[in-house]
Chain A
């Protein structure tokens, strides 16, 4: 059964309080199976969820359904899961939901920020070949994580926001206080360095 979450047109005074509610308090509502937990979650993280989904899916109808699926996912998983950071847990579910939907899509066009981001990675890492097994994917991901750990925070932030959270270049630029063009150049340099790093680590021929 699909749990449909009513998205409030306005935020009441109470909800405004919820939006500043501590994660632990929201999780407590989930643990009590109180539907107020959902409203509080949407008040606090609804915008972030909508954004990450919108980054990946261009179709607003798809995005809305996906947001509902995300809240349902959180509702169904807490308990037993008690996330350390509710925000990133919620965004993670939103991303996965959006990606599942994205992978069903047959459109081959650059239809979203995510497509554009993948285009960049495809253009930059064409020689990676195929990662057939789960293990290979894990090994490669581990290698990229190690590379990211070594980057300055702003570079790491830009990379992950672009390729994991599928943010637009403009959004990243705004967050980092730089021009969009500068960010696109920075990402280009990071991709080039990643390629060199992977080659050094034997992940690339």
Chain B
């Protein structure tokens, strides 16, 4: 569409709209907006003062020394013009917007990275653009650049006779485009004057340069190029690129790195000066694309690569000392199928009463038929006693309104006694006893397998042995196994829920912690963190999450982290780093897991018995 056609269309716009904007109308003139009450005004002014204080503090502490932060700090309530706005009825709305924008800009300014990447324009000495600062987190982009005009904007090698078709026309004195308005450097202007005086005439080309309006990435028009300041510094605007509720084009989101293209535009004019006459002709326009590639500063925003394609093909080997903590990760790459990986999502669950009824019937009624009458649908707790000698026979508790956790104990077959394994194996992850206690005719592994299969009948989870120990009841002269089980959901291990089981030759006689749940919802992940990103996140954040001087990780798995909240359970997919750590002055070893949420990149760990998620640094 030509300019004239655009003008023609603009001329035909609704005259009422045009007239409405002939002068700026205050909201009160438009729709009778009420004036602010005094309290609201006071609150807003106090808020404004707070923002100024915050901005000043941020500067003082160096938080917004960045160009982006500095540029956008002008949103603070500091100028006389702003102060005048207090008179206006739309002051509150205006200030709200300023506060919101400024806090966002301060956040971007704090995280932006200072750099220096020069992009020279070929054939024009000194011309180019320098990238000074960038910020890209997968959803927001901000760049601060410096524009460099050509060092020699005037080219005297131009010979007009070589271009007979150039449409020269006379320029009126003071008219436009006067080369003096384009050639800023005194040396070039003096050279023109000297040649004119010496030769009586002079011909030359002038290169007028500026940044084009459009900024592109991934083929999308991303944002406008900001105005140049007196030093040629400009920003590609973060407001248009993700802040203030806007979204950058989908193609530009969550990339590992993004290439942003700007256009350095050079318009060339030919001049012929003779005595008092000036002739000029527009020779043409040259566009030079300028591209900068900047990395994504938020690894969590980058969708995961499938592990086998990752840098860690067989094992993860990282040894690093971070802020006083020595970290060693030496673990095989987790074996997860591509299908499993892509089918992971956030799972919500609730208690399943039917499983409890099934378990009650099969474990209780079949063994003790006289208890039939005690089982009825809807009961969630049973505490049964034998008629003689009035001692508890069975305890079976399962809360339907809670999260369906089992407490099962058959007192008639109950055993107690000492542990036959070494003390340091208690609670040791993935420990399997090699001892077969007296009175048992199977190994710990076989017993654990039997229990796992049995409990799988009453759970939506499957189980694998996590810690199996041999025990012996010296009073009853009977051995048994104490078994801790790792649940798995659809082949993915579930963490922070480890049921136990007591198993003797007479079978399972006690079990606690089994969760009797059913899936009620599944949501796909909005993004998936790669294994590399998770490792990097642990390396970068481990001093924050640990209380050890030395940390060793030899198992990395993809798992679900279980969280309970208000009677519901959520399984959150995460990369799990099973760690052990030591602290100087302490003899024992801490065993703990670090979770890196697959979706959010947050780091999870147990603190005071609770699962805590923290934002990565």
User: A residues within 8 Å of B by Cβ?
Assistant: 48, 58-61, 85, 87-88, 91-92, 96, 99, 103, 106-111, 118-126, 128-131, 137-138, 140-142, 144-145, 148-149, 153, 156-157, 160-161, 163-165, 169, 174-177, 179-182, 184-185, 187-189, 192
Contacts and interface: CB of A to CB of B under 8 A. Distances in A.
A102 B455 CA distance: 86
B85 interface: yes
A124 B74 CA distance: 28
Contacts of B172: 59, 61
- Which of A144, A174, A185 neighbours the largest number of chain B CB atoms within 10 Å of its CB? A185
16 contacts: A61-B175, A87-B23, A88-B19, A103-B7, A107-B282, A118-B3, A120-B213, A122-B1, A122-B6, A130-B5, A141-B14, A153-B25, A160-B17, A177-B88, A181-B227, A187-B224
Given A128-B1, A130-B2, A157 B21 contact: yes
A57 B174 CA distance: 13
Contacts of B3: 118, 122
A43 B312 CA distance: 78
Contacts of A160: 13, 17-18, 21
Given A123-B214, A165-B21, A185-B240, A129 B1 contact: yes
Given A109-B269, A177-B85, A123 B9 contact: no
Nearest to A140: B9
Contacts of B427: none
A80 to B, nearest CB: 18
Interface in B46-96: 71, 74-75, 81-82, 85, 88, 94
- Which of B19, B81, B172, B214 neighbours the largest number of chain A CB atoms within 10 Å of its CB? B19
For the complex of A and B, 4 pairs with smallest distance between CB atoms: A141-B12, A145-B14, A88-B19, A160-B21
Contacts of B187: none
B203 interface: no
A31 to B, nearest CB: 21
Contact of A103 (B4, B88, B213, B240): B4
B223 interface: yes
A110 B27 CA distance: 34
A129 B175 CA distance: 33
Contacts of B4: 103
A150 to B, nearest CB: 11
Nearest to B177: A109
Contacts of B237: 181, 184-185, 188
Given A59-B176, A130-B1, A185-B240, A149 B9 contact: no
Given A131-B5, A161-B21, 18 more contacts: A85-B19, A88-B18, A99-B7, A103-B4, A109-B269, A111-B177, A120-B213, A126-B1, A131-B9, A137-B12, A141-B9, A142-B14, A145-B14, A156-B20, A163-B10, A169-B227, A184-B237, A185-B240
Interface of B: 1-15, 17-25, 27, 30, 71, 74-75, 81-82, 85, 88, 94, 167, 169, 172, 174-177, 208, 210, 212-214, 221, 223-224, 226-227, 235, 237, 239-240, 246, 267, 269, 282, 285
Contact of B17 (A58, A110, A148, A181): A148
Contact of A164 (B21, B74, B239, B246): B21
A159 to B, nearest CB: 8
Contact of A110 (B13, B167, B210, B239): B210
A192 B227 contact: no
Nearest to A172: B24
Given A122-B3, A123-B214, A184-B224, A157 B240 contact: no
Contacts of B81: 174, 177
- Which of A60, A120, A125, A164 neighbours the largest number of chain B CB atoms within 10 Å of its CB? A164
B176 A107 contact: yes
Chain A at the B interface: SS class: helix
Contacts of B19: 85, 88
A164 B2 CA distance: 16
A179 B1 contact: no
Contacts of A187: 224
A194 to B, nearest CB: 12
Given A141-B13, A153-B30, A179-B75, A131 B1 contact: yes
A137 B8 contact: yes
B382 to A, nearest CB: 63
A189 B240 contact: yes
A156 B224 contact: no
B208 A109 contact: yes
Contact of B12 (A88, A96, A138, A161): A138
Contacts of A184: 224, 226-227, 237
Contacts of B7: 99, 103, 118
Contacts of B235: 181
Contacts of B212: 123
A87 B177 contact: no
Nearest to A131: B5
A18 B88 CA distance: 28
Contacts of A156: 17, 20-21
A154 to B, nearest CB: 9
Contacts of B21: 156-157, 160-161, 164-165
A181 B226 contact: yes
Contact of A107 (B18, B75, B177): B177
A94 to B, nearest CB: 11
B74 A179 contact: yes
Contacts of A92: 15, 18
A187 B225 CA distance: 12
A131 B1 CA distance: 7
B25 A91 contact: no
A118 B24 contact: no
Given A87-B22, A88-B18, A189 B246 contact: yes
Contact of A85 (B10, B22, B82, B282): B22
